[in-house]
Amino acid sequence: MPKVAFTTLGCKVNQFETETMEGLFKARGYEVVAFDQPADVYVVNTCSVTHLGERKSRQLIRRAARTGPGATVVVTGCYAQVSPGEVEAIPGVDVIVGTQDRQRIVDLAEEAAASRRQIRAVGDIMAADVFEDIPLFAAPGRTRAFLKIQEGCANFCTYCIIPYARGPLRSRPLDSIGREAAKFVAAGFREIVLTGIHLGAYGLETGGAATLTDAVRTVLAVPDVARVRLGSLESIEVSDALIAAMREDERLCPHLHLPLQAGDDGILAAMNRHYTTAEYRDLIRGIRERVPDIAITTDIIVGFPGETAEQFANTLAFAADMAFARIHVFPYSRRQGTPAAAFPGQVSEAEKKRRVAALQALADRQAVAFHERFLGRELMVLFEPAADGGIEGLTGNYMRVYAEGDSGLARKIRPVRLRGLLRDGLWGEIVG
């Protein structure tokens, strides 16, 4: 039996796409092995969000060529899409596939192995107009399944290369979403996480014939779906209908990840973000009034070109006012090919490091404060096996909970009374 090995850099969407490619190889009789093991084919699913992601991608490509001399090395993903010439020049690369046409990946790998010539299958992603609907042939044994329903981005933030790597908006048809969700449920998954590159824009290219709320309701209509969670959304794309669905059906998790990126209107404008701090504040307050226990998590970039000490202070103050459940803090990474790379006022690495530390300290305090709100309360937890042999799981509002129990509770939802704080969550007692 031929063997294939995968490694993945980047976001949850990339991880989902790797799983679909694993399924394509399995369906053709391949055994999936660890990336550091001998294999006939090595697939590197790359990231291009930052220069560090690209550097790690190159390192993994070279590692694959060293680990499997004579094996076929396939490079796919965002770095392959935006810089195919750079990838082509790396010794040992046999196939370059971008972010489209990956349904052909097995054929391309086998063609390269047979012909011993390099194949470059990277098309014009900006001309793509149909969602590449690759079914997941083999579902890994986890509790949560990620279901990609949308591709492409239309935001064109000045710091981001992703629109050029992923192309225009394309949405997965509702009937396909329903079929895949039913497959996940049949495989034993209890929670389905809807993901996309620009998830809130689901259906936008169709003129609103289908919306993200329609996609959510399609999954909720699948028999035996226990939970549905949403991936990252732009704040301006959170509709009243979506919040109404969350209020109506407790299976739609009360958790929204809404990237803020900056708490200063001048920086937001320079980033080409499509909202003001006032609009963001009003939205969050309105959501919390309707869904009081919701977790609002976010991303914030510090050290964007031109960000003054006063503007960073504005971001700190705004983030403090928002009382996020969790903040992912990122130093600005200069990405060639984006407008911001040429902006004046690039902030020094030392100053970015200082600002990251200040914002991270606030983030840590806010996470503790959010968890403390729920001490003594009883919440439903979806359990999974813990690394130390115990059990752990997530509440609907994305708090990690640890409890005493055995692996027989894995994939089960149980009420837990939350008793104390831990470094990365809470501990509690199962009460039913």
Tell me the chain's radius of gyration from C-alpha atoms.
Answer: 22
Query: Can you tell me the mean pLDDT for 177-205?
Result: 93
pLDDT value at 187 more than 90: no
Q: How many CA atoms lie within 13 A of 364 on its CB side?
A: 8
For residues 300-338, b (16+ Cβ closer than 10 Å) or e, as one string?
bbbbbbebeeebbebbbebbeebebbbbebbbbbbbeeb
* Burial bucket for residue 110 (CB in 10 Å: 0-12, 13-18, 19+): middle
Q: Domains in the chain: how many in total?
A: 3
Residues 6+ apart with CB under 8 A from 288: 294, 296
pLDDT value at 345 more than 60: yes
Query: CA torsion 398→399→403→408, rounded to 10°?
Result: 10
Q: Indicate whether 186 belongs to any domain.
A: yes
Question: Domain boundary residue among 357, 372, 387?
Answer: 372
Query: Can you tell me the mean pLDDT for 256-275?
Result: 97
Model pLDDT, residue 408: 82
* Low-confidence winner among 78-87, 139-148, 149-158, 366-375 (lowest mean pLDDT): 139-148
Same domain for 333 and 391? Answer: no
Nearest Cα to Cα of residue 316 among 349, 350, 283, 360: 360
Query: Can you tell me the mean pLDDT for 277-302?
Result: 98
Percent of the chain predicted with pLDDT > 70: 97
20 compared with 300, residue with greater pLDDT: 300
Same domain for 327 and 397? Answer: no
- Could you tell me the CA-to-CA distances from 234 to 126, 169, 295 in Å, in that order? 22, 14, 15
Nearest Cα to Cα of residue 41 among 60, 62, 25: 25
Query: Can you tell me the mean pLDDT for 291-300?
Result: 98
List the CATH number of the domain containing 40: 3.40.50.12160
Same domain for 62 and 157? Answer: no
Question: Which conformational region is residue 410 in: left (phi greater than 0), alpha (psi within -120 to 50 degrees), or beta?
Answer: beta
pLDDT value at 38 more than 70: yes
Same domain for 80 and 7? Answer: yes
Pairing of strands 191-196, 227-230: parallel
Nearest Cα to Cα of residue 118 among 82, 80, 165: 80
Question: Domain boundary residue among 372, 397, 422?
Answer: 372
Query: Can you tell me the mean pLDDT for 219-232?
Result: 96
Confidence of residue 387 (pLDDT cuts 50, 70, 90): low
Q: Indicate whether 137 belongs to any domain.
A: no
Specify whether the CB–CB gap between 222 and 185 falls below 8 A: yes
Q: Indicate whether 129 belongs to any domain.
A: no
Question: Domain boundary residue among 340, 372, 404?
Answer: 372
Model pLDDT, residue 388: 67
pLDDT value at 21 more than 90: yes
Q: Indicate whether 139 belongs to any domain.
A: no
Note down the domain range covering 407. 378-430
Q: Which amino acid is at 376?
A: G
Q: Indicate whether 130 belongs to any domain.
A: no
Same domain for 11 and 100? Answer: yes
**Helix (H) or strand (E) run with residue 263 in it:** none
Q: Indicate whether 138 belongs to any domain.
A: no
Same domain for 325 and 385? Answer: no
Same domain for 183 and 285? Answer: yes
Same domain for 38 and 72? Answer: yes
Pairing of strands 295-302, 326-331: parallel
Same domain for 148 and 245? Answer: yes
Same domain for 178 and 313? Answer: yes
313 compared with 405, residue with greater pLDDT: 313
Which tokens sit at 339?
A: 């407008």
Percent of the chain predicted with pLDDT > 90: 77
Specify whether the CB–CB gap between 39 and 3 falls below 8 A: yes
Q: Indicate whether 271 belongs to any domain.
A: yes
Confidence of residue 190 (pLDDT cuts 50, 70, 90): very high
Nearest Cα to Cα of residue 244 among 295, 181, 287: 287
Model pLDDT, residue 135: 72
Same domain for 198 and 52? Answer: no
**Helix (H) or strand (E) run with residue 196 in it:** strand 191-196
Same domain for 265 and 345? Answer: yes
Nearest Cα to Cα of residue 200 among 166, 170, 232: 232
Query: Can you tell me the mean pLDDT for 86-114?
Result: 92
List the CATH number of the domain containing 311: 3.80.30.20
Q: Indicate whether 422 belongs to any domain.
A: yes
Residue whose token pair is 């169709």: 206
